[in-house]
């Protein structure tokens, strides 16, 4: 009976140790993922700024008001599409980071 208790305690300790290692592995991915997300957001902001300045340049060189209105409409339509694509990209990155963070813990749970 006493040896069964020791065996159970040892198994439990192994499971706790495995879970701790899995959590540590998961936590080590967070800085890399955060950095990737930050870079993606900066790239998106840069693209948005470049498009905005291109539209302002075009509007400044417009021949008449209808040309300005067309340029604005095109910019708003393109910006809307760009925003949806950017949101999808960020969402996909976040989902990938979540899967990457959970994977070590799932592997650790299966091993125990």
What is the percentage of the chain residues whose pLDDT exceeds 90? Answer: 52
pLDDT above 60 (res 41):
yes
pLDDT, residue 112, reads: 42
Alpha-carbon distance of 66 to 71, in angstroms, equals 9
Q: Quick count: other Cβ atoms within 10 Å of Cβ 25? A: 16
**Of 14 and 6, which is predicted with more confidence?**
14
pLDDT, residue 89, reads: 96
Contact status, residue 112 vs residue 19, Cβ threshold 8 Å: yes
Contact status, residue 14 vs residue 112, Cβ threshold 8 Å: yes
Q: What is the pLDDT of residues 73-109, one digit of tens each?
A: 999 999 999 999 999 999 999 999 888 877 777 764 4
Residue 8 has, within 13 A of its CA and on its CB side, a CA count of 5
pTM over cut 0.75: no
Which is nearest to 22 in space by CA: 108, 111, 112, 110? Answer: 108
């Amino acid at each position: 009976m006493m040896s069964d208790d020791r065996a159970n305690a040892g198994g439990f300790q192994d499971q706790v140790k495995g879970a701790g290692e899995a959590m540590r592995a998961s936590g080590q991915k967070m800085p890399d993922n955060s950095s990737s997300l930050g870079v993606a957001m900066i790239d998106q902001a840069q693209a948005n700024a470049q498009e905005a300045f291109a539209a302002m340049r075009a509007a400044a060189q417009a021949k008449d008001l209808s040309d300005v209105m067309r340029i604005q409409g095109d910019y708003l339509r393109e910006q809307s599409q760009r925003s949806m694509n950017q949101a999808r990209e960020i969402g996909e990155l976040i989902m990938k980071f979540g899967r990457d963070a959970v994977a070590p813990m799932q592997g650790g749970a299966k091993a125990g």
